[in-house]
Chain A
Amino acid sequence: MHPSASRKLALLGLLVAWTSPLLAQRDLKVIPPPDPALEQETFILPEGFEVNLFAADPQIAKPIQMNFDARGRLWIASSSVYPQIEPGAEANDRILILNDEDGDGVSDSTKVFATGLLIPTGVEPGDGGAYVAASTELLHFVDFDGDDVADERRIVLSGFGTEDTHHILHTLRWGPEQRLYMSQSIYIHSHIETPWGIKRLNAGGIWQFRPETLELDVFARGWVNSWGTHFTKYGTTFATDGAGGEGINYAVPGASYATAYNAARILPGLNPGSPKHCGLEIVGSPNLPEEWQENFITNDFRGHRVCRFILEEDGSGFVSREQQELIKSNHQSFRPIDIKMGPDGAIYIADWYNPIIQHGEVDFRDPRRDHTHGRIWRVTYKGNKTTPREDLTKLSNAELLSRLASPNHWTRHMSKRVLKERGPEIESELKAWARSLDNTAEGYHQRRLEALWMYQAINVVEPELLYSLLDSKDASARAAATRIVGDWMNSLPQHLDWLRERVQDEHPRVRLEAVRSLAKSNNPEAVAIALTVLDQDMDQWLDYALWQTVRDLQPYWQSELHNGSLAVSQHPKQLLFLLKSAGSADGIPLLIDLLKTPDAVADADIPEVLETLVQFSRPQDLTSLLSFAMEQGTSAARSAQVLSVLKATAERRNLRPEGDLNRTAALLTHESPTVREWIIRCLGTWKVDSQRDAISAALLDESAPGHVRQGAIEATAAFKDEAAAKSLQELARNGDVEFGLRRTALSSLLGLRPKLAANLSVELMNDAKSSPATAQPLLQSFLARKDGPELLAEALNEKSIPSDTAVIALRLIGSSGQEHPQLAEAIRKAGKVTGDAVKLSPAEMQEFVALVAEKGDPARGEQVFRRASLNCLKCHAIGPAGGLVGPNMLSLGATAQLDYIAESLLDPNAKVKEGYNTLVVATDDGKVHSGIRVRETDDALILRDAENREVTIPKSSIEGQKDGTTLMPAGLTAALTQHELLDLTSFLSALGRLPDYTVSTTPVIRNWQFMVPTNEAAFHLRRTSYASAATEPNVFQWSPVITTVKGELPLGEIPEVSVRNRVQAGNRGVSFVRATLEGGGKTTLKLGDTTGLQAWVDGKPINLNAEVTVELEAGQHQLTFVIDRAERSTPLMVTH
C-alpha cells in the first residue's frame, strides 16, 4: 500500500470516530492545543500536494475575508469583536496586509492598514487603498503616502443591515469587468441612498457596484449566507452558500435562489445535499496539475474540509461533481472560510481557527469562543514550480496587457485591476493589443473577451469588438459578450437586433444570457424578442430566465398587450408563456382567447393555463369562460376543463361568473357526461338553489355514469343543509345503488352528520358488496378528520367487520403517521384479527391451491415477501442474499408443492424443515434464549436468533434446554389479505421455477445497506456532504436490504434521507446505499442507466458510466451510492 494511502486509512479510522461537528459544538469539552504544527499534522491532501503555514497568530487573528493586491500582498479583514461588541469595549478590528517579501511562501511582514473597525467582514484592495465592508457601511480607505497605513476613510455606501453579524455585507470581489461584487445574507435588510435612487435589498443577494459612478444593482437574490462569488474565465457567475445545502450555484443574472425575498420562483444549486460551503475560487495556475485547472474549490468549514468540484456544461446550465478534497482534517478548530489563488499560483486558505462556529446556537460570550488565533495556509503541487512573483504595479501598460493571456489567474485578474486604475488613458494601447492578437492561437476569443472587459472597466463602449465577439466561434465568449450588451444597452442603438440574433444562438447558454440582457430594456419589443427563444429547446435554466424576463418587462409590455400591438399576440406558444408567467389578471382575456383557439394550447400546457385562470380571473373573465363553455362549438373536453376552473375559482377565491347562473342549466343535458358532471359540481359550489331538483335528479339517475352521480353527491353536500344530509343518507343506505357511490355519499355525509356517517360506514363495511379495497377510501376519510378516528372507534363498538377490512384498516393506521390506539383496538376487536395459526381442511386447501393458480401473481407476491412488516427476508435467503434463520428459498418453487408452501405459511409448525426447529435454552442468569442451533464447541453453544444474530452461550451457564417450535411466527398471515396470501404463495412457488424468480449466475450485488433516515443523519449530512456517507460511514446507521430475486434494488423500498434545509421548498429527497466489493485487480461494474446516481469507492468519487472499471487492491472495498430520488425512480442493479 502506498504510504499516503495507509496514513489516510489510519486517519479515516480517526475520522469515523468523531461525532458530528455541530452536535459536538455545545458539548465541546476539549479545546485542541493551538499549535499550528499540530493542526497541520491532521491535514490530508491528495498525492503530490503539500501545505505550509503562510501566516499565523499572533501576527494575524480571526481572518474573515482575504484578497491579494496587484503587488502580491495579501489583505485580511480580521475581527476579534465578532460576534457582538461588548458594552465598554472598543471597536478595534483591523485590516492587515501580509507580505511575502522574499517569495519563499511564508509571510515576512504584517502591516496594520486600518483599525478602529466594527467587525469588518470584507476587504478588497483597490483605488489607492482598499474597500472594506464594516457594519452598516462600505468604506474606502486610501493610503496617500505609501506607508501601508490608511490616511483617509470615506463612507462609500451606508445603510446595510446588521441583523446578524455573519450576514452583514461581505464577500467583496472585483468582477471580470472590474465592478465590485458584494454579498449580504438572509437576515439582512439594506436601504442605500445613491444619486441614482434608493436601492433596497431584503434578505440575501449579490450586489453589483461600480464605485466610480456609484451605480448599484442587485445581481442575484437569495441564498442563506453566500460567502463565495466567482467568475469563470468567460465570466459565467457562480456562488456558494455558507448555510445552504446545494453546493455550487450557477448564478443567472437577475435570478432568485433559495430564501430570496418575495420570489415567486427560484433556481436550485448544482449539488443538492451538499454541506455549507464558504468561499469560492476557480483554479488557474501553472503550478497545479492539468486536470485541476478550472476546478472549483471551496470550504466546508463545519466538516474541516477544503472541497473541490468539476463543472461541465449541461444545456444552458451546468452539472457539478464533487471530487476528492484538497484538504481533509479532523482538527476541531480548523475552519477554512476563504480561499484564493495566490500570485505564485499556490492556493491560499484562510483558517478562521475556532472550536466554536456561529453565534446563533452558541452563546455570544461562550468562553470557549476563540478571539485570538487565525492562520493562512498555502497549498502547492510538488510536481511543478510555483510562478515567480512580480509587482504588477511596476509594469507598463503593454506588459500588463500581455499578462491578460496569463494562465495564472492572479496575474490575469490583477493586471486588469492595475490597467483599470490607470484609467481611460490605456485605451489606445488596449485597442492596439486587441488588434494584435493572433486569431489562430488557442484562447484567442477569451483574450478578446478580456479586452472587451477592459473597455467595460474603463467605461468606454466599444461596439465593434463587442459585435465581433457576439459573432465569435467560441460560444462561451458569445455568452459573455451577450451579457455586456445588456450593460451597454443605452449606448448601443442596435442592441435589440444584436440580442435578437443571440436569442436564436445555437448554444443554449448564449440564448439564456440574451434573454436576461433583454430584461434590461424598456422597449416593449424586447419581450417579443425574448419569447422567440421558445423556437428552440428549453431547459430549466432557460425556462426560468424567460419567466424572469417576462416578469421584469411587464411594465413595458402590458399596455402594448392591451392595445394589441404586441407582436407575440400572433404566436400562441409565445403568448401562452407570456400570459402564464405574468402573474396578473391583465392577460387573462387573451389567455381565454388562446384557449378558444383550436390547437393553440398544447395538452402539456393545459394544467398550467387552467391554474393561471383560477389564480387571476376576475368575475368578467369567469363570465367569458362560462360563455365559452356553453358555446355549441366548444369541445366537450374543453368545456369540462373550463367548468373545473369555474368551480375551483369559486372554492378558492369565492368568485363566480356574473349574472343569473340558472342559465347554465342548459349544460345539464349536454351530451357529454363529463360536462354534465362538472356543471353539476359547479352548481353545487355556487349553491344555485333553484337547480337543487336537477342535482337530485342526477343523484338518483340510475342510468347516469358513476362520475356524474359522484359529482351530484358532492354538489348535494355543498349545500350543507338538512335536505342534503337526507339525500346522502338515503343514497348511502340504498343497497341497489353502486357501492362506490354509497361510499362517496358517506364520505360526504361525514361532513354533515358525523355520528350517523360513522354508524352507516360500519354497516357499509359489512355490506355484501364491500371489499377491503373498496372500503379503503372511506377509512381514509375518517383518518383525514380530527374527530374521525374517535367516531369510527365508537361506531365499531360491539360491532364486527370483515377481518380483511380490519387488516387494511390497521395497515392504513400504520401508514398514517399516528397510532390511534383506541381505533386500532376497536378494529382488531371488530375484525377478530388475531395471531393464531390457520388450519385448512383438505377441501379448503384444494380450493386455496386452485385460487393460487387462478389469481396469484408472483410479481405482487415478491412485493409482499419483501414487505418490511412481514420480516420474511430477515430469516429467509433466496440464493446468496437474505437471512440464515430459516431455510434458503432459492429453489422452493421447483422442489415444493403448492399445498406444502401454503401450509407452511398458514401453520408454520405443521411441517418444520429439519434443522429449523428452535432450541430454547435457559441460563443461570435467569434468561431464556431461543434460536436455531448453528454450531457447538466444547464449551459453548451458538444459536442464531430471530434477528439473524449469533448468540454464544457458555455451556457452563446452561441450566436446561428443550426443543421449541419454528421461529416462523404463527399468525404471520393474519397481517395479509386473502389476495396477498395468494400472491405470496404464487411467488414462493415460482422460485427457481420461473426465469424472473430464479437467481442467475451473473454476479450481481445483492446485499446492500441503506442509510437509515434518522434526524442525526440528516443533521450531519446538511453540515457535511453526500460524500460523508462514503468517507465517514460509521457516523450513520445502515440497515441491510437485499435485491429482488432478479437482482434489482427497488427504490420504492429505500427510505429517503431528508437532507434538505427547511428553508427550501419542495421535497427532493435522496437515498444512500452501499455494498461491499471484494478487491483484487480490475473490476468492471455494470450499472446500465446512471441517472440520478453518484458513487464513491472507499470514499473517493468515481465517474459514472454504464460501465465503470475500478482498480481494487485485494481485500474489502466499500461502494457507496447516493440516489437523487427526484431524478431516478428506476431500480438500481449492479453486476460485476
Chain B
Amino acid sequence: MSLRIHFAVGLLLTTLTATTQAESFLKNGDRVVLLGGTLIEREQVEGYWETQITLATPHNVTFRNLGWSGDTVWCESRGMFDPPAAGYARMLNQVGEINPTVIILGYGGSEAFHGPLGVESFKIQCKKMIAELRTPERRFVLLTPQPMAVSQIPGRDRGPAEEMAARYNEYREAYVTALREIAAEEQALLIDLAEPVQKWTGRPLTDNGITLNALGYWVTGQAVTSALTGSSAADKVKEPELLSVSPLGENSQASSTEQIRTLIRHKNELVFHRWRPQNFTYLFGFRKHEQGNNSVEIPQFDPLVEELELQIAALKK
C-alpha cells in the first residue's frame, strides 16, 4: 500500500528535522498546552495528533487545547469585548492556571497573509509571547504553517486561487524562516508541517487549501508524534476513512485506538466548555450580574475531564 511508503518518507524527513531529538521530547507527567489558530483548534475536534502521541509515548502526558480560530501571536481572536491585549492577558492567565510543562505554538499561518512587511513584528511578538509564557521548567515547540494547496482551493475559477496561493506561499516562506530563527534563539523544538504535507501524494489533506482535514491531521500527526516521542504510532492509529459522521458517535465495534480517539475528542469538548464556555457575556462578561451565578457550573467540568483522562490512560494500557 502506497500509504505506508509515504508515511515512511514523512517519518524520515521529520526525523531529520528533529535530529537533535535522540530521546523522547515528552517526559512522564508532562502537561501540554496547544496554542494557535485554526490549525490547533481543529485538532481538538479531530484528535489525531493527541491520539497518536498518546499511543506512541510510554509516558503519562495530558493535553489542553487552547486553539482559537484566526488567532495570531497578538491574540487577535481572544479579545472578545476587549482589545486583543486583554485577550492576550487572559490567555497568559489560562495557561498559568493549567501550568503546563510543554507549550506547542501553532502560529504564523494567519500572520503570513500580511506579507513580508509583517515578519519582523511577528517575530518580536512571538518571542515576547514565549518570554511571557516561559518558566524554568517549560519547554516550547513551534509548528510551521503548511503551504496553501492551490489545487484544493475550491471553485472553478483557478486564476484567483493560483494567484492567492502563489502569493501566500511566498509570504509563508518568510514566516517559516522567522520561526526557525525564533526556535534557535529560544531553544524551542521546531516541527515542520510542510514536509509531510508536501511529500504526501494520496487523497487531499485539506478541504479548502489551508485547513487540514482528518487525513491532514493524521498525516501531520505522524511528524508531530515522531518529533515529540521519538517513536511512531502509525500502525496503531487507522488512517481516517473518507466519511466521518457525528463527532462523538460511540461505537462499541471500534478498535481500542479509535475508542481512545473518541474519548480524547470528548475530553477536548469538555475542556472547551471549561475554558471557552458559551454565554461568556452572562457568565463572566459585562452581564455577569444577570447570570454570573451560573458560572459555578463551569469548574464542574474539571472532574469530568479528569475522569475521561483516567479512562484514556486505562485504555492505553
Stretch at the interface among B152-160, B178-186, B192-200, B253-261: B152-160
Tell me if A832 is interfacial: C-beta within 8 Å of chain B.
Answer: no
Tell me if A228 is interfacial: C-beta within 8 Å of chain B.
Answer: no
Taking CB atoms, residues of chain B closer than 8 Å to A361 are 290
Stretch at the interface among A146-154, A819-827, A1020-1028, A1099-1107: A146-154
Chain A binding site: helix, strand, loop or mixed by DSSP?
A: loop
Tell me if A114 is interfacial: C-beta within 8 Å of chain B.
Answer: yes
Contacts known (A159-B77, A214-B153, A459-B155); A164 close to B246, Cβ less than 8 A: no
Please tell me if the beta carbons of A196 and B164 are within 8 angstroms of each other in the complex. yes
Please tell me if the beta carbons of A162 and B282 are within 8 angstroms of each other in the complex. no
Please tell me if the beta carbons of A195 and B164 are within 8 angstroms of each other in the complex. yes
Query: Could you tell me the distance between the alpha carbons of A361 and B294 in the complex, rounded to whole angstroms?
Result: 13
Taking CB atoms, residues of chain A closer than 8 Å to B164 are 195-196
Of A191, A197, A364, A490, the contact of B113 (CB 8 Å cutoff): A197
Query: Could you tell me the distance between the alpha carbons of A159 and B72 in the complex, rounded to whole angstroms?
Result: 13
**0/1 interface trace, chain B 69-108, chain A, CB 8 Å (1 if under):** 1110000110111000000000000000000000000000
Q: Tell which of A83, A163, A459 has the most Cβ of chain B within 10 Å.
A: A163
Residue on B with the closest CB to A360?
Answer: B290
> Which residues of A (365-402) have their CB < 8 Å from a CB of B?
365
Of B76, B153, B277, the contact of A200 (CB 8 Å cutoff): B76
> Which residues of B (230-266) have their CB < 8 Å from a CB of A?
243-249
Query: Could you tell me the distance between the alpha carbons of A89 and B276 in the complex, rounded to whole angstroms?
Result: 17
Please tell me if the beta carbons of A163 and B77 are within 8 angstroms of each other in the complex. no
Please tell me if the beta carbons of B68 and A159 are within 8 angstroms of each other in the complex. yes
Q: Tell which of A85, A116, A150, A195 has the most Cβ of chain B within 10 Å.
A: A195
Please tell me if the beta carbons of A91 and B157 are within 8 angstroms of each other in the complex. no
Instruction: Give how many B residues have a beta carbon under 8 Å from the other chain's beta carbons.
Output: 61
Tell me if A135 is interfacial: C-beta within 8 Å of chain B.
Answer: yes
Of A91, A153, A159, the contact of B69 (CB 8 Å cutoff): A159
Stretch at the interface among B48-56, B117-125, B127-135, B208-216: B208-216
Contacts known (A192-B69, A361-B290); A151 close to B155, Cβ less than 8 A: no
Contacts known (A87-B297, A361-B290); A153 close to B245, Cβ less than 8 A: yes
Please tell me if the beta carbons of B294 and A151 are within 8 angstroms of each other in the complex. no
Please tell me if the beta carbons of A195 and B209 are within 8 angstroms of each other in the complex. yes
Please tell me if the beta carbons of B42 and A158 are within 8 angstroms of each other in the complex. yes
Taking CB atoms, residues of chain A closer than 8 Å to B37 are 193
Tell me if A900 is interfacial: C-beta within 8 Å of chain B.
Answer: no
Residue on B with the closest CB to A142?
Answer: B243
Tell me if B7 is interfacial: C-beta within 8 Å of chain A.
Answer: no
Query: Could you tell me the distance between the alpha carbons of A158 and B210 in the complex, rounded to whole angstroms?
Result: 13
Contacts known (A195-B153, A195-B209); A189 close to B81, Cβ less than 8 A: yes
Residue on B with the closest CB to A151?
Answer: B243
Of A87, A119, A189, A360, the contact of B282 (CB 8 Å cutoff): A360
Query: Could you tell me the distance between the alpha carbons of A642 and B65 in the complex, rounded to whole angstroms?
Result: 60
Taking CB atoms, residues of chain A closer than 8 Å to B281 are 163-164, 187
Taking CB atoms, residues of chain B closer than 8 Å to A118 are 278
Please tell me if the beta carbons of A214 and B154 are within 8 angstroms of each other in the complex. yes
Chain B binding site: helix, strand, loop or mixed by DSSP?
A: loop
Contacts known (A136-B69, A189-B80); A87 close to B155, Cβ less than 8 A: no
Tell me if A168 is interfacial: C-beta within 8 Å of chain B.
Answer: yes
A901, chain B: closest CB distance, angstroms: 60
Tell me if B126 is interfacial: C-beta within 8 Å of chain A.
Answer: no
**0/1 interface trace, chain A 127-170, chain B, CB 8 Å (1 if under):** 00000000110000000100000111111001101111100100
Of A119, A154, A490, the contact of B207 (CB 8 Å cutoff): A154
Tell me if B18 is interfacial: C-beta within 8 Å of chain A.
Answer: no
Tell me if A88 is interfacial: C-beta within 8 Å of chain B.
Answer: yes
Query: Could you tell me the distance between the alpha carbons of A674 and B207 in the complex, rounded to whole angstroms?
Result: 71
Please tell me if the beta carbons of A212 and B154 are within 8 angstroms of each other in the complex. yes
Residue on A with the closest CB to B149?
Answer: A195
Of B113, B279, B300, the contact of A162 (CB 8 Å cutoff): B279
Tell me if A841 is interfacial: C-beta within 8 Å of chain B.
Answer: no
Query: Could you tell me the distance between the alpha carbons of A194 and B208 in the complex, rounded to whole angstroms?
Result: 8
Tell me if B28 is interfacial: C-beta within 8 Å of chain A.
Answer: no
> Which residues of A (401-438) have their CB < 8 Å from a CB of B?
424
Instruction: Give how many A residues have a beta carbon under 8 Å from the other chain's beta carbons.
Output: 57
Tell me if A1126 is interfacial: C-beta within 8 Å of chain B.
Answer: no
Please tell me if the beta carbons of A364 and B294 are within 8 angstroms of each other in the complex. yes
Of A136, A152, A490, the contact of B245 (CB 8 Å cutoff): A152
Contacts known (A155-B42, A213-B154, A360-B291); A193 close to B70, Cβ less than 8 A: yes
Query: Could you tell me the distance between the alpha carbons of A162 and B155 in the complex, rounded to whole angstroms?
Result: 29
Taking CB atoms, residues of chain A closer than 8 Å to B161 are 195
Taking CB atoms, residues of chain B closer than 8 Å to A189 are 77, 79-81
Q: Tell which of A165, A187, A198, A365 has the most Cβ of chain B within 10 Å.
A: A198
**0/1 interface trace, chain B 273-313, chain A, CB 8 Å (1 if under):** 10011111110010100110110011011001000000000
Of B156, B165, B246, B294, the contact of A365 (CB 8 Å cutoff): B294
Please tell me if the beta carbons of A165 and B278 are within 8 angstroms of each other in the complex. yes
Of A155, A165, A196, A200, the contact of B279 (CB 8 Å cutoff): A165
Please tell me if the beta carbons of B69 and A116 are within 8 angstroms of each other in the complex. no
Query: Could you tell me the distance between the alpha carbons of A424 and B156 in the complex, rounded to whole angstroms?
Result: 10
Query: Could you tell me the distance between the alpha carbons of A144 and B211 in the complex, rounded to whole angstroms?
Result: 23
Please tell me if the beta carbons of A86 and B297 are within 8 angstroms of each other in the complex. yes
Of B69, B76, B113, B153, the contact of A158 (CB 8 Å cutoff): B69
Please tell me if the beta carbons of B280 and A162 are within 8 angstroms of each other in the complex. yes
Residue on A with the closest CB to B113?
Answer: A197
Tell me if B144 is interfacial: C-beta within 8 Å of chain A.
Answer: no
Taking CB atoms, residues of chain A closer than 8 Å to B278 are 84-85, 118-119, 135, 162-165, 168
Please tell me if the beta carbons of B279 and A163 are within 8 angstroms of each other in the complex. yes
A316, chain B: closest CB distance, angstroms: 32
B231, chain A: closest CB distance, angstroms: 30
Taking CB atoms, residues of chain B closer than 8 Å to A490 are 160
Contacts known (A193-B37, A193-B109); A214 close to B279, Cβ less than 8 A: no
Contacts known (A158-B42, A200-B70); A84 close to B294, Cβ less than 8 A: yes
**0/1 interface trace, chain A 85-126, chain B, CB 8 Å (1 if under):** 111101100000000000000000000001110110000000
Q: Tell which of A118, A151, A155 has the most Cβ of chain B within 10 Å.
A: A155
Please tell me if the beta carbons of B113 and A198 are within 8 angstroms of each other in the complex. yes
Taking CB atoms, residues of chain A closer than 8 Å to B81 are 163, 187, 189
Query: Could you tell me the distance between the alpha carbons of A159 and B78 in the complex, rounded to whole angstroms?
Result: 11
Taking CB atoms, residues of chain B closer than 8 Å to A213 are 153-155, 157
Taking CB atoms, residues of chain A closer than 8 Å to B76 are 191, 200
Tell me if A359 is interfacial: C-beta within 8 Å of chain B.
Answer: yes
Residue on A with the closest CB to B76?
Answer: A191
Taking CB atoms, residues of chain B closer than 8 Å to A459 are 155-157
Taking CB atoms, residues of chain B closer than 8 Å to A151 are 243, 245
Residue on B with the closest CB to A83?
Answer: B279
Residue on A with the closest CB to B156?
Answer: A459
Residue on B with the closest CB to A154?
Answer: B207
Query: Could you tell me the distance between the alpha carbons of A155 and B38 in the complex, rounded to whole angstroms?
Result: 11
Residue on B with the closest CB to A199?
Answer: B70
Tell me if B61 is interfacial: C-beta within 8 Å of chain A.
Answer: no
25 contacts between A and B (CB under 8 A): A84-B294, A85-B273, A87-B304, A144-B243, A150-B246, A153-B244, A158-B38, A158-B41, A159-B77, A163-B278, A187-B81, A189-B81, A192-B70, A193-B70, A193-B211, A194-B208, A196-B164, A197-B113, A213-B153, A213-B154, A213-B157, A214-B154, A359-B291, A360-B287, A459-B157
Cβ-closest 5 pairs across A and B: A159-B69, A191-B70, A213-B155, A87-B300, A116-B246
Known: A163-B280, A191-B71. 16 other contacts (CB 8 A): A84-B294, A84-B297, A91-B269, A153-B246, A162-B278, A191-B68, A191-B77, A193-B38, A193-B109, A193-B211, A200-B76, A210-B155, A212-B155, A214-B208, A359-B279, A363-B293
Residues in chain B within 8 A of chain A (CB atoms): 37-38, 41-42, 45, 68-71, 76-77, 79-81, 109-110, 113, 148, 153-157, 160-161, 164-165, 168, 207-211, 213, 243-249, 269, 273, 276-282, 285, 287, 290-291, 293-294, 297-298, 300-301, 304
